[in-house]
Structure 1
Amino acid sequence: MDGLIAIVRRQWRVVGLCVAVFLALGIGYLLTAVPRYTARTSVLIDRGNRQVVEQLSTIGGVMDDEASVLSQVELLRSETIGLSAVDRLKLQDDPEFMGGRRNPLLAAASEIRSMLDVRRWLRGDGPVRPDESEAQRRQALVRLLDNMKVSRVGRSYVLEIAFTATSPGLAAAVAGAIADAYLTDKLDAKYDATRRAGNWLQERIEELRQRSLESDLAVQRFRAENGLVVANDKLVSDQQLTEMNSALTVARADTARTRARSERIEAIIASGERDAIVTDALDSSVISSLREKYLESSKREAEISRRLGPDHVQAARLRQDMAEYDRLMFDEIRRIARSYQSELEVARSRERQITQGVRSATDISVAAGETQVQLRELERAAETYRNLYQTFLQRYQEALQQQSFPVTEARIISRATPPSAASEPRPSLVLALCLALGCGVGGAVGAFREFRDRFFRTGEQVRDVLGLEYLGSVPLVEPQPGGSPPAEPLKGEVWRKNGLSAFATAHPSSSFAETLRSARIAADVHIDRAHKVIGIVSMLPGEGKSTIAMNFARTLAGSARTLLIDADLRNPGATRTLGPHAQEGLLDVLLEGRAPASAMLTDPDTGLRFLPAVVKRRTPHSSELLASAAMGRLLAQVAVEFDYIVLDLPPLGPVVDARAIAPRVDGFIMVVEWGGTSRKAVKDTLNAEPQIAGRCLGVVLNKVDAARMKLYEGYGSSDYYASRYTHYYHEAHPDPMPVSTGAASRMKTAREKPDDSR
């Protein structure tokens, strides 16, 4: 979120400019646009007429699903409806409809486009088409379809037709004509469909009638040829087989019943059970009479035996009578058994006869069934032709009736009226769209600018990308008028004063000076040596490396013995600034063996010693000179006399001089131009120079735009509170503080004393 807010703060001007441009374009469009009016009419797909339409029509039925309603929408947009409306109102001859008022800007753009149409030049005027009226009619149709809109109202069965024109009356007339053309087309379509259906049905009816007659005759001929006699819609053989099967079932049941009675009575006779009873025995009058006599004799025998004793003559005679009665009853049962056996034989004979008849009928039915397969096929064909004939005949009668029924399932529920207000352009919508486009384009441009911004802006980027200490930022300082050295040297002058080279000492309370003091602390902390060799490097030329080196050396010279060496033998910027008229320099010391002190210049204000690089000719082997033993002896010699030796080294990108002298340097200070040097380039260069990266004390961001720096401050970061630091910084030159003569003399003496006494 902080990053997004920071991006908005940086790019809001771009977004605002784009919004202003698009709003200006929108306002210009609104001022020059021709007002257009939209008239609307509504058509209902009336489901209330469903019963009437279904009763009177079987073609073009009532719509039930959404696809059908959407199909009606497409029908309203079709060329058929459009051409019908064009012909109704003669729109091809209406100059207002065909030409109309146009936006001046669009008209001018169209004219320019037509003038620049190369194909028109190559084609020429060409021959005039013979049917010009048809071409105008088609052109009117295109205009009508372009300005017409048909939509469904929600999920209802209402279709809304809207037409937009430059005149309210024309818009209402065209919208109404489209609705009327739609209803007329529905009626015409129904009439044409029924008429075509009637003609086609009439042809098919005659053909089906003939085929139905032929199929019926074929069925009758086949029956006669194969003897398939039918009674009550069923073959006689099949009826006989059914009846015989029923009789066989009955016969088998009778046989089973008589067999059961015969077997039962035979079992009784075989077991000699005189008390067993069968049904026919109960029905026999003989057995009933004998049983009555038997019971009467048994009763008298029991009474006599009780009174006179069982051995009485009368009792014995009665017992003999009872035995006779029992024998006679058993004989009667045997007679009944013989009758059962006779009935069983009769039932078996009848069953055999019926079974033989069923077999014969079955053979006949099987033979008839095989023939019936062909018969049924002929019957099905005949039935099909009869049904088709009846159906087509009925449809034909309905089609004849439908041609005179002017009934459709659509009706107009809202007629188009001339609108009172213009529908286009809509100022609020146009301005909102322009605002959205402006914000979108501005956001895209701002995002592109942010994407392309791959430079160092804050100290956090230095730490995150390079993994080095951030020493501080140096604001962009414009050269003061008159600060550059004159073309001709003054008498006895060897050291030139320049505003930028001495800005830190001239403004000791500025953020510039504070950053250099931070660099000194980093050097004191990380370099554990009494005599420190510090190299000032940058990635690219022009990043202000020499200016930082001169100010840093002067800051160090205020309290320590400091030597500044211009080691940039190809582009000695420090020499051009501080000693443009020097006669001897570093090359003379290294190549000719001169004493370093003879080539040094001295700053009268701070006591800074400066060894310039007087380049009298091109030096292509500068890296070899910096890595030579002579350079090593020079550094060892001056290390005895100075506490700090500051080397203004060439940039790392173009040349390898800094890499050559890296082993003799205790620490490097990397100068990076704020908003001017790619983060990737610096990172890749330091990764390729591990000796320099490993000894880098930190990074100084140079040429910082203080006003734009505020836009890159992250909430809670050290840069965020930079505005509070201004209470401790005074960029303007402060008024000189009163210093006593003794104090001044002590300061001067301290500056002139050897470094060993400090």
Structure 2
Amino acid sequence: MDARNTSLTVKHEGSSEDQASDFSIDFDWLLGVAKRQWKIVAATVVVFVALGIAYVLTAVPLYQATTNILIDRANTVVVEQLSKFGENVDDDASVLSQVELLKSSAITMGTVDKLKLDEDPVFMASDDGVITQLKNFVRSLLNVSTWFVSDTVTNDDKDRMRQNASDKVRNNMDVSRTGKSYVLALNFVSPSKELSARIANGIAEAYLNDKLDAKYDATRRASDWLQDRIAELKQKALESDLAVQKFRTANGLVSTGTQLVSDQQLTELNSALIASQADVASKMARFDRIQQIIKDGQMDAIVTDVLASTISNDLRSKYLTASKRADQLAAILGPDHESVVRQRNEMADYKRQMFDELGRIAESYKSDVDVAKAREKSLKDSVTQATSVSAGANETMVQLRELERSSETYKNLYQSFLQKFQEAVQQQSFPVTEARIISPAVVPTTPAYPRKTLVVALFAILGAAAGSGIGMFREYRDRFFRTAEQVRDVLGLETLGTAPLISKIGKPIDKVGPEPSEREIRKSSAVMDYVLDHPLSPFAEAMRSVKIAADMVLPSASCRIIGVVSTLPGEGKSTIAVNLSELLASQGSRTVLVDADLRNPGATRAIARHAEKGLVEAIFEQASLEECLLRSKRSNLAFLPAVMKQRLPHSAELLSSAAMRHLLNRISDHADYIIVDLPPLAPVVDARAMAGSVDAFVYVTEWGRVARRMVRQTLQAEPRIYEKCLGVVLNKVDMNRMKLYQTFGSAEYYHSSYSNYYREG
């Protein structure tokens, strides 16, 4: 006892107690839940399937008609070639926009008006089921305000009916894109198969008509706007062109077609100046050349004008003749001869005359250079003047070009808008849209809704889900002791044994033989002799386990006083106390059973209803102990009953009194075991009062009845009882249901393996 923890641990509070709070969800646990709750799940599934069948049988069948619309890009190209105001359907967003257009109120209202659906009683009839219609009928009967409403249909009522019909069309239709194509699938459901097909085709026709009307309205509005814009642009073009001409005239900007006259003159002067500069350079070079010839006295140097001069050519011829003659004479007469000298003098004279002629030619060259330079200077002055004029004209041309650009812009806009106006006029009478019906709706042959198999399957799934939820809630609410492992985890105590639920409870013992004497135990039920009648049963084995635990915990005690307690009344502690006492007595131990439950003496009622004296008389010594004890001939068990002739207001004080302790000591002198059947712990304090006189306690809890939290809190409030507690006996265990709580490795899992060791007979 001392080696065991003497305080009840609370670490499992909120975890082990409540399976839903903190527990390990494993496969074994799930299988256990399935085995325990499958009937609830199955029953819920059956109920939901029945509801599903009832819904299928009462639901109004709906027929679905489908028409397919193609957003034809080929037609779009044709339209766009004729008018830039056509819609461009080139991307996903445009196709999805057409889906929303089909769902718009413009289309649905157009369908209602065309097919007169607001006047169709079949269409306007309610689609609700029988239950909903009945509920609406009852509600209308209870609505007193509708009893006095006039039957006259007003315009507001007609508008409301049209709107209701439009809403009904929108609610019963579905438009979706077929994959990534340009095909739109339009579905419509209705209780009438013919009406479904008619409305589906009507919606498609209304969509196409709306497209045509929208295109016509767009082109008409565009042409009206273009007419006003064209008139405005025409006036702007005329005004801008007139402004260009006035500006030219005002600034003298005369042109020859491609450029201004001043620019042309400047170009010509520049060309003449360049030519003049080249001429000056050429003549200057010629003059410099002849000057160099004269300066160097080069006889062999020739210029063009010398060759053209007859004087120069004649003088050169005479010079050459004189030179030839001088050379001949010098060769004959010698270089110093008078004739040779005379010839040389003639040569010098001819040379002088030749250079004089060159000087005159040079003067003419110089005159040509001066004339060319004067012309060049004149051209430069003209160019400077023309440049100044052109620069001024160019500054003015900036404004002119701006006016010309403005004029050209207005001209282009005018031409463009005029062309678009012609296209828009043509488009008004060109009935082509970018959409067409590729498969009209046909009358369906079978209803699309409700899908009976799917609905029933869905209800079955919902039933399974609801049943699983109920089952899980039941598991969550199952806070009772079911297994020895739960006892160990929650209470920190070992399970001494599991006492099965005895099916013979309440069956009286067959009376065979003579009537027992007043000093004998008289059992009113066979369950009190169960351990004697079935010594090899699991119940008897649980009692032996209690005896072994008491012998091991109290090995040296000459007399072991064992108290049997429970949390609440009715858990079977008196049955356990009687059978435990019978087992001990049948094994030869001197055993005395004391019924200490002075408020509700269950053991006395079960085995000694005839007793006239008992525990109270023995305590107060109104009778001797031997006079109060009853015995069993079968096992030699001694029983001290509790004969309550009147209620005792101070039973706890009586049990904790010195007289009670003295009585137990007197009994201990003649007994090996004293089994005390104590009151339950929760309602009264009698067991706590007697805790000091008891060596050990056996805690009895009913399987699947008392909440684990209740048991734990009760033991927490009774630490003296807890520290002396040998363990727990799970009583009234349903062994068939116990199998549902077995997990791999637990004692319950192997129950079938050692069940052959037990015999009920």
For this structure pair, what is the TM-score category when the shorter chain's length is used for normalisation? 0.7 to 0.9
- Aligned counterpart in structure 2 of residue 394 of structure 1, from 419, 422, 430: 419
Indicate the residue corresponding to 2:569 in structure 1.
Answer: 541
Secondary structure in 1 matching 2:528: coil
TM-score, normalised relative to structure 2: 0.74
Partner of 1:513: 540
- Picking from 700, 725, 737, the partner of 1:708 is 737
Q: 2:144 aligns with which of 109, 121, 124?
A: 121
- Could you tell me which runs of 5 or more consecutive residues in structure 1 were left unpaired when the two chains were aligned: 251-280, 287-342, 735-758
SS of equivalent residue, structure 2 residue 432: coil
CA distance in 1 between counterparts of 2:70 and 2:410 reads: 42
The match for 1:503 is: 530
The alignment status of 1:19 with 2:45, answered yes or no, reads: yes
Shift of 1:502: 2.4
SS for the counterpart of 2:75 is: helix
Decide whether the 8 Å contact of 2:174 with 2:186 is kept in 1: yes
Q: Structure 2 CA distance, aligned partners of 1:95 and 1:155? A: 39
* Cα deviations by residue, 1:600-647 (Å, 9 ceiling, x for unpaired): 322232222222233444444433333333333333332222211212
1:406 and 1:480, CA in 2 relative to 1: closer, same or farther beyond 3 A? same
How far apart, CA to CA, are the structure 1 residues paired with 2:706 and 2:401? Answer: 100
Residues 200 and 441 in structure 2, CA contact (< 8 A), matched pair in contact too = yes
Select the residue among 561, 564, 567 that pairs with 2:590: 561
Displacement of 1:44: 0.9
Between the aligned partners of 1:537 and 1:243, the Cα distance in structure 2 is 137
Q: Do the aligned partners of 2:613 and 2:623 also contact (CA within 8 Å) in 1?
A: no
Q: What is the aligned partner in structure 2 of residue 438 from structure 1?
A: 463
Is structure 2 residue 493 aligned with structure 1 residue 480? no
**CA shift for structure 1 position 7:** 1.1
User: How many angstroms apart in 2 are the aligned matches of 1:589 and 1:240?
Assistant: 157
Q: What displacement does 1:483 show?
A: 5.5
Tell me: CA distance 1:602–1:412, structure 2 relative to 1, closer, same or farther (3 Å): same
Question: 2:208 matched to 1:183?
Answer: yes
Match of 1:403? 428
> Match of 2:748?
719
Q: How does 1:272-671 map to 2 (within 5 A)?
A: 385=410, 387-478=412-503, 479-482=505-508, 492=518, 495-499=521-525, 500-530=527-557, 531-559=559-587, 560-591=589-620, 595-671=624-700
1:502, 1:554 within 8 Å by CA — same for their partners in 2?
A: yes
* Conservation of the 8 A alpha-carbon contact between 1:100 and 1:166: no
Identify which range, 550-559 or 618-627, moves more after superposition: 618-627
Residues 609 and 242 of structure 1: CA distance in aligned 2, closer, same or farther (over 3 Å): farther
Instruction: Give the superposition deviation at 1:403.
Output: 0.5
- Residues 53 and 62 of structure 1 are in contact (CA less than 8 Å); yes or no, is this contact kept in structure 2? no
- Sort the Cα spacing of 1:228 and 1:504 in 2 relative to 1 into closer, same or farther, 3 A: farther
Give the 3 Å change call, closer, same or farther, for CA 182–652 of structure 1 in structure 2.
same
**Structure 2 letter corresponding to 1:519:** V
* 1:150 positional shift: 1.8
Secondary structure at 2:690 match in 1: helix
* Residue 195 of structure 1 pairs with residue 220 of structure 2: yes
Residue 111 of structure 1 corresponds to 137
Partners in 2 of 1:157 and 1:410 — Cα distance? 10
Q: How far, CA to CA, are the matches of 1:143 and 1:198 in structure 2?
A: 38
Aligned-partner Cα distance in 1 for 2:594–2:749: 37
Query: Larger deviation: 207-216 or 542-551?
Result: 207-216
* 1:56 matched residue in structure 2: 82
Q: C-alpha deviations, 1:462-485, integer Å up to 9, x for none?
A: 223222211222222242344599
Partner residue, 1:153: 178
Instruction: Provide the residue aligned with 1:130 in structure 2.
Output: 154
- AA matched with 2:549: A
Asked whether the 8 Å contact 1:534–1:667 carries over to 2, the reply is: yes
- Residues 133-180 of structure 1, C-alpha deviations (whole Å, 9 max, x = no match): 333333333333333222221221111122223333322222222222
How far residue 241 of structure 1 moved from its aligned partner, in angstroms, is 11
Q: Does structure 2 retain, via aligned residues, the 8 Å contact 1:550–1:574?
A: yes
Structure 1 residue 195 displacement after superposition? 0.9
3-state SS in 2 of match to 1:502: helix
Amino acid at match of 2:711: V
* Secondary structure in structure 1 of the residue aligned to 2:756: coil
Distance in 1 separating the partners of 2:758 and 2:388: 129
The partner residue of 2:113 within 87, 100, 110 is: 87
Q: 1:593 to 1:91 in 2, by over 3 A?
A: same
Specify the code of the residue in structure 1 equivalent to 2:489. Answer: D
CA RMSD of the aligned region, Å? 4.6
Between 691-700 and 513-522, the greater mean CA deviation after superposition: 691-700
Contact 2:262 2:386 in 1 (8 A): no
CA pair 229-594 structure 1, distance change in 2 beyond 3 A: farther
Distance in 1 between residues matched to 2:266 and 2:660, nearest whole Å: 137
CA distance in 2, matches of 1:60, 1:392: 16
Q: Structure 1 residues 204 and 696 mapped into 2: Cα distance closer, same or farther (>3 Å)?
A: farther
Query: Helix, strand or coil for the counterpart of 1:508?
Result: coil
Which amino acid in structure 2 is aligned with residue 653 of structure 1? A
Describe the shift of the 1:91–1:358 C-alpha distance in structure 2 as closer, same or farther (beyond 3 A): same
Q: Is the 8 A contact 1:589 1:596 kept in 2?
A: yes
Between the aligned partners of 2:666 and 2:724, the Cα distance in structure 1 is: 22
Pair 1:632–1:176, CA change in 2 (3 A):
same
Distance 1:468 1:447 in 2: 28
Deviation at 1:434, TM superposition (A): 2.0
Residue 52 of structure 1 and its aligned partner are, at CA, apart by 0.9
| Correspondences of 1:673-692 after superposition (within 5 Å) | 673-692=702-721
CA–CA distance in structure 2, aligned partners of residues 568 and 246 of structure 1: 145
- Paired position in structure 1 for 2:339: none
1:447 deviates by: 1.4
How far has the Cα of 1:494 moved from its partner?
A: 5.9
Secondary structure of the residue aligned to 2:431 is coil
**Does 2:29 align with 1:3?**
yes
Structure 2 CA distance for partners of 1:581 and 1:197, relative to 1, 3 Å? same
Aligned AA (2:568): L
Residue in structure 2 matched with residue 738 of structure 1 by the alignment: none
Aligned amino acid, residue 48 of structure 1: A
Residue 234 and residue 471 in structure 1: after superposition, are their counterparts in 2 closer, same or farther (change >3 A)? farther
Decide whether aligned partners of structure 1 residues 672 and 207 sit closer, same or farther in structure 2, where only a CA change above 3 A counts. farther
Q: Distance in 2 between matches of 1:360 and 1:96?
A: 96
Higher mean alpha-carbon deviation, 151-160 vs 240-249, is at: 240-249
Partner SS state of residue 200, structure 1: helix
Aligned pairs for 1:58-77 within 5 A: 58-77=84-103
Aligned partners of 1:544 and 1:245: how far apart in 2? 137
Once the two structures are TM-superposed, the CA of residue 225 in structure 1 deviates from its matched residue by: 7.4
Question: Which has the higher mean CA deviation after the structures are superposed, 34-43 or 592-601?
Answer: 592-601
Structure 2: give runs of 5+ residues left out of the alignment: 1-26, 276-297, 304-368
- CA deviations on 1:201-249 (whole Å, 9 max, x unpaired) are 3233334444555556667777777888989888999999999999999
Residues 494 and 582 in structure 1, CA contact (< 8 A), matched pair in contact too: no
- Report the Cα distance in structure 2 between the residues aligned to 1:626 and 1:366, rounded to whole angstroms: 137
Q: Per the alignment, do residues 392 and 730 of structure 1 end up closer, same or farther by CA in structure 2, a change over 3 Å counting?
A: same
Cα deviation, residue 700, structure 1: 1.2
Distance 2:266 2:569 in 1: 123
